Amino acid sequence: MSQNPPALRPDLARAAIPDTARPGQPRIGMVSLGCPKALVDSERILTRLRAEGYAISPDYAGADAVIVNTCGFLDSAKLESLDAIGEALRENGRVIVTGCLGAEPEYITGAHPTVLAVTGPHQYEQVLDAVHAAVPPAPDPFIDLLPARGVSLTPRHYSYLKIAEGCDHKCKFCIIPDMRGRLQSRPAKAVLREAEKLVEAGVRELLVISQDTSAYGTDWKGREAKFPILDLSRDLSTLGAWVRLHYVYPYPHVRDLIPLMADPTNGLLPYLDIPFQHAHPDVLKRMARPAAASRTLDEIAAWRRDCPDITLRSTFIVGYPGETEAEFQTLLDWLDEAQLDRVGCFQYENVAGARSNALPDHVPEAVKQDRWDRFMQKAQAISEAKLAAKVGRTLTVLVDTVDQEGATCRTMSDAPEIDGNLFIDEGFEGLSPGDFVTVEVEEASEYDLWGRIRA
């Protein structure tokens, strides 16, 4: 699977991203031809596929389908592209063609009528569509970064930006370090280049993801900056798009991101998706997570002092093995004090291979359900009060969809797929997805807002 010099072959990304396909995980091969622009396209496609839970196959034999990113600049390049498609068909048989030569689909299908699909240059969504049709994704809620709905096409105006793979922590309930290996950060230049291309292509919001976003770059030996996420965030914040950080592990250096978030002139949103998982030190210890929940409350207070508009989203696990009623009550009390804006909660369940399976005193299902209900009731009341306080405020929102009923938008506090919406049901006819609009908030429910466009 080679055409380009090794330094320009994105399929060699396997050198940086270990080949850790799990059983049943769909695997895609990539042959990338042509210029650096095509290379960037290939990188973007591979990044999206990885984010959606596909593995990248380093060879034809292991791939469920192969993407050939072609070049059509010169006749010799066209012939090389046709040869590459022929080789992929012979060696694998299931081939999706994209890139510059894809602008002449008949030229390709005339020579190779059995290709599965042909798409043109920069048609990322169509390539992903073709991959989904040829090799359906197999979402795994325990290790995928995106919600299951995320495997449907991301609208053009927002995009996930994956900055690293793997994790150096060893949380006992989690199998990601075993499945995906240790932290491997993408080079900052590659991340920035992808982000710039996305913004040039019309993306208005970048959703930065990895398993441990605040650890980004700490795997680089001899690095200049102690915490490269700070520089990366600063650079991304200048691109003219909203930048939203997901999966930020609560390290102390997270506080250094707050001044950047508080500055309304740059794109880094005052939004932290920071999975705390629990608040009782003993439970956190049994999870092998940092066990300093009281210090976390101080930290949250400091973040809010320096950035009053910050939105804090987190996820928690209730019914973790050994969790007592008193420990759970500590979590509820902590939530009362922390007043998080957005909260997700999972009932603990065993995952094959997780070390927590072997812990004593698993919590009965009925108790887990009861704790989940009580936790969500409190979280909902907090969310309702927080959103009610937004009524009367003027906010900038990003339009996601427009139909006959109205426009569905999001404020800076709402990540797509997981948070709430702001709905506009009057005067929305001139709006399009990707527009930024100024609205006055008129109404609020537990999770959503309604507003009207400010003249």
**Contact residues: ligand SF4, CB under 6 A:** 167, 169-171, 174, 176-177, 211-212, 249
Here the tokens at position 378 are: 């409190």
Shortest reach from residue 333's CB to ligand SF4, in Å: 24
Cβ neighbours of residue 443 closer than 8 Å, sequence gap 6 or more: 391, 449, 450, 451
Residue 307 annotated in ligand binding: no
Closest separation between CB of residue 43 and ligand SF4, Å? Answer: 23
- Smallest gap from Cβ 111 to ligand SF4, in A, equals 45
CB atoms within 10 A of CB 176: 19
> Closer CB to ligand SF4, residue 183 or residue 207?
183
Residue 299 in tokens: 């930290």
Nearer to ligand SF4, 45 or 215 (CB): 215
Least separation in angstroms between residue 110's CB and ligand SF4 is: 48
The Cα 286–Cα 300 span in angstroms is 23
DSSP summary character for residue 280: -
Q: 299 or 446, CB closer to ligand SF4?
A: 299
* Residues 229/252, Cβ–Cβ less than 8 Å: no
- CA pair distance 54, 188, nearest whole angstrom: 23
Considering the complex, what minimum distance in angstroms separates the CB of residue 288 from ligand SF4? Answer: 8
- Name the residue nearer to ligand SF4 (CB basis): 205 or 212: 212
**In this structure, are residues 41 and 124 in contact, taking their beta carbons and an 8 Å threshold?**
yes
Nearer to ligand SF4, 134 or 174 (CB): 174
100 is annotated as contributing to ligand binding: yes
| 345 labelled ligand-binding | no
* Cβ proximity to ligand SF4, 176 vs 268, nearer residue: 176
| Residue 174 annotated as binding site | yes
Min dist CB 179 to ligand SF4, Å, is 10
Q: What is the DSSP string of 399-453?
A: EEEE-SS-EEEEETT--TTTS--EEE-SS-TT--TT-EEEEEEEEE-SS-EEEEE
- Retrieve residue 306's tokens: 């320096």
Annotation: binding site for [4Fe-4S] cluster: 35, 71, 100, 167, 171, 174
Instruction: Output the known binding site.
Output: 35, 71, 100, 167, 171, 174
